[in-house]
Amino acid sequence: MFTAQQKTPGLKLKICECFKVIFNNASIKKGWHCHPFLLLYEQKLVFDCCTIEFRKDHYMSFYQLQRTQKIPAPIETVWEFISSPKTITPPSMGFDIISSGDIESMYAGMIIAYKVKPVFNIPVTWVTEITHVQNLKYFVDEQRIGPYRLWHHQHKITAIDGGTLMEDIVTYQLPFGIIGSIVHALLVRKKLESIFNYRFTAVEKLFGKF
């Protein structure tokens, strides 16, 4: 929330890196407020007193998380492990597959539904689609229903001397514009990192250290 003070007509005031205010006249009532929820979906808000313009590259920010891990196991074994929807996640996530039917054989177009508790122990439904599969090389899952505005997760494996290199590339975006960016900085980024840290340790316990 910010408060607009009396300014000269046409003056551009840079409140922060995400938006600026262009005052239309000098008769601005002291204490006028713009509620942050107005910032969610518009690039420009026009009022009697001023115009607010937002930097699209800020309020529509997307993020990318990349992780690699060397596993002392043949690529066939690692593929069987990573292509199972029974993902290793911290117990606090309450991860539970609720899809019916056969979910053991992965294929492009496959829909998998989960119940998960990402924050504050609140259960949410998360539905993903396996959009691309190349056996023993990679697959991609994308969110169809869930807490993210965008979720695109590439799972890659490559045979190396002594085992397999596993690589994850997660590209994601949160909803709610500027508020989502704040929540990402305070909570989401740390949560995702903790999930992958947990999996790294669990994989080492399962296959051994490289």
Q: Are residues 34 and 119 in the same domain?
A: no
Q: Please state, in angstroms and rounded to a whole number, the distance separating the CA atoms of residues 115 and 126.
A: 6
State percent of the chain over pLDDT 70.
71
Q: How many residues does the chain have?
A: 210
In this model, does residue 110 exceed pLDDT 80? yes
Looking at residue 50, what is its pLDDT? 52
Q: Are residues 54 and 86 in the same domain?
A: no
Last residue of some domain: 19, 42, 59?
59
CA distances from 47 to 3, 27, 38, 50, 53 (A): 14, 13, 12, 5, 11
Torsion angle (degrees, nearest 10) of CA 121, 126, 131, 135: 50
Looking at residue 88, what is its pLDDT? 82
Last residue of some domain: 44, 59, 74?
59
Looking at residue 26, what is its pLDDT? 38
Q: Are residues 46 and 133 in the same domain?
A: no
Average pLDDT over residues 80-95: 85
In this model, does residue 76 exceed pLDDT 90? yes
Q: Are residues 9 and 69 in the same domain?
A: no
Average pLDDT over residues 124-150: 94
The more confidently predicted of residues 72 and 3 is: 72
Helix (H, G, I), strand (E, B) or coil at 174: coil
Q: Please state, in angstroms and rounded to a whole number, the distance separating the CA atoms of residues 5 and 67.
A: 47
Write down the mean pLDDT value for the chain: 77
Q: Are residues 10 and 93 in the same domain?
A: no
The more confidently predicted of residues 124 and 9 is: 124
CA distances from 34 to 1, 8, 80, 119 (A): 6, 19, 53, 28
Q: Is the dihedral of CA 184, 189, 190, 194 positive or negative?
A: positive
Question: Which domain does 25 fall in, by range?
Answer: 2-59
In this model, does residue 6 exceed pLDDT 50? no
The more confidently predicted of residues 145 and 101 is: 145
Structure tokens, 187: 């909570």
